[in-house]
Amino acid sequence: MTNQASDRYVSSLQAALAGGQFVFTGEIGPPKGVSVEKCLHQAEQYLKGRVAAVNVTDIQTAVMRLGSLALSHLLAERGMEPVFQMVTRDRNRLALQSDLLGAYVLGIRNVLALTGDHVSMGDHPQAKCVYDLDSVGLLSAMTMLESGHDLGLDSKGAPNVLEGSPKFFKGCCVTPCTEEVAPQIIKLEKKVAAGAQFVQTQAVYEPEAFDKFMGEVRRRGINAPVMVGIVMLKTVAMGRYMNSSVPGVKVPEATLDRLAKAAKDDRQKVSIEICAELVRAMKPFCQGAHLMTLGWDHCVPEIIRQAT
């Protein structure tokens, strides 16, 4: 596909957010192997036509999996708009820029810039981290590519010129519910200054804390649309793990108690209700919700139904 041919692809996620709609996005994780049929089927059955775009995770939690670029392309071929997640942990600036150009040629427009979890969290702890760029650096690289140049310099010290430039809808992440909000706001300002055009947050279970965070975002004049992150709680143990091990995420005891008191056969129903209630509570403060169902894609239609 030439650049000219791929120009017909535009970001419907960008258009939806610009149009003032409250937007839902979903998320799928590539398999640990090459059997993509199950995750593609799940996406087609439960996400297509219901969410504006589908995030594709990139070697999430440093566990080796199929790459996000391949699965993003397969989603696009099936009429679903992907959000191509890119972590900087595993690739230097040469590979990151090359993959960005490849994504554009394949019709991918939405890119979420992430630094990525340390390899010590995953199944290859002996792997070497790269971190040539961080998420701010990756956003800057995308902005540079859009200008028709790359990050390298020619013999005269000027940026290298591209033969055709891409255009992305560039996203970033933020953790709104940390005890110290100021560092997150400062980092978000840097990301927006580097080119971020939309924001998806870490999991939020405290509407009051999110309201306070968004108030500070507005006070600082950060205008990028924000999509609140909603992670389904499958078990009480999962919630307690998030409280102890995921920085900036706090699941209230009342929420855990509610899940604990539910009969085993009702826990999924209660989890759906919790997600929908969170979306309804935080809808006035943001522009969308990013639903992370962790394999429970079949719950997405009901979450959206109850939340709207």
Domain boundaries, the chain: 21-167, 203-308
Output the pLDDT for position 3.
44
Output the pLDDT for position 4.
41
The number of helices, as runs of H, and strands, as runs of E, in the chain is 12, 10
Output the pLDDT for position 7.
56
The CATH number of the structural domain formed by 21-167 is 3.20.20.220
pLDDT in single tens digits along all 308 residues of the chain? 344 444 567 899 999 999 999 999 999 999 999 999 999 999 999 999 999 999 999 999 999 999 999 999 999 999 999 999 999 999 999 999 999 999 999 999 999 999 999 999 999 999 999 999 999 999 999 999 999 999 999 899 999 999 999 999 999 999 999 988 999 999 999 999 999 999 999 999 999 999 999 999 999 999 999 999 999 999 999 999 999 999 899 999 999 999 999 998 999 999 999 999 999 999 999 999 999 999 999 999 999 999 99
Pairing of β 149-153 and β 159-161: antiparallel
CA–CA separation, 53 vs 26, rounded Å? 7
Helix extents (H) in the chain: 3-6, 12-18, 37-42, 68-77, 93-105, 135-146, 181-194, 207-219, 236-245, 253-261, 267-282, 300-307
Backbone angles phi, psi at 145, to 5 degrees: -60, -40
